[in-house]
């Protein structure tokens, strides 16, 4: 009877009993582009798979908050493999519109320490089944000098003075 209860418990708990949660850290946050629509950003994550077997990321969803404001969200269904007992770099690209950036600028941020929160759900497939692993990371990032508003406006002002 005890063995039946144990098997039943394992079935009801699913594969989460067999999968050790991967460790996720944000290595860098980089502004990768600027265009008429807004800015492109990239989060470089390191994912450490503590299991002896590979895990396969089947997709993810994310929400990005900058200075506590919800500024971007999305999803991706690219497949990425995380080999067992290794650390793998993984990128999450995102974009933020200029309209949304103006909301951040209203708070007069320190451009060398802008706070962010990245909330994501990783849809992971393992040999024992599929689970969604929640990820929530916070930190700060610096806006490169050439993209900071004061420097940009100064360059524009110099350009108009030359004419």
Backbone angles phi, psi at 7, to 5 degrees: -65, -45
Check residue 78 and give its pLDDT.
Answer: 94
- Does residue 124 contact residue 22 with C-beta atoms inside 8 Å? yes
As beta bridge partners, residue 26 has 45
User: Which has the higher per-residue pLDDT, 5 or 114?
Assistant: 114
Q: Where are the domains of the chain?
A: 16-156
Q: Look at residue 25 and tell me whether its pLDDT is greater than 80.
A: yes
Please tell me the pTM assigned to this model: 0.78
Q: What is the pLDDT of residues 59-68, one digit of tens each?
A: 999 999 999 9
Dihedral angle over CA of 158, 34, 24, 68, nearest 10: 70
Decide: residue 82, CB within 10 A, 0-12 exposed, 13-18 middle, 19+ buried. buried
- Does residue 136 contact residue 117 with C-beta atoms inside 8 Å? yes
Q: What is the pLDDT of residues 120-136, one digit of tens each?
A: 999 999 888 899 999 99
Nearest CA to 115 among 151, 84, 148, 142? 142
3-state secondary structure of 15: helix
CATH number of this structure's domain 16-156, picked from the four choices 3.30.420.10, 2.60.40.1180, 1.10.10.1100, 2.60.40.10: 2.60.40.10
Long-range contacts of 145-153 (CB under 8 A, 24+ apart): 147/31, 147/34, 147/39, 148/111, 149/105
User: Which has the higher per-residue pLDDT, 79 or 14?
Assistant: 79
Rounded to an integer, the average pLDDT of 69-93 is 96
Check residue 106 and give its pLDDT.
Answer: 84
DSSP for residue 21 = P
């Amino acid at each position: 009877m005890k063995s039946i209860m144990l098997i039943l418990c394992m079935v009801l708990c699913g594969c989460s009993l067999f999968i050790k949660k991967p460790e996720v850290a944000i290595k860098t946050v980089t502004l990768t582009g600027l265009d008429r629509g807004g800015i492109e950003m990239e989060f470089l994550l390191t994912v450490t798979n503590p299991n002896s077997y590979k895990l396969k990321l089947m997709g993810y969803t994310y929400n990005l908050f900058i200075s506590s404001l919800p500024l971007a969200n999305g999803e991706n269904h690219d497949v990425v493999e995380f080999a067992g007992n290794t650390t793998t770099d993984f990128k999450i690209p995102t974009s933020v519109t200029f309209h949304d950036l103006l909301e951040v600028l209203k708070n007069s941020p320190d451009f060398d320490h802008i706070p962010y929160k990245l909330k994501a759900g990783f849809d992971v497939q393992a040999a024992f089944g599929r689970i969604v692993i929640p990820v929530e990371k916070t930190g700060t990032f610096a806006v490169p000098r050439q993209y900071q508003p004061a420097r940009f406006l100064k360059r524009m002002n110099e350009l108009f003075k030359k004419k």
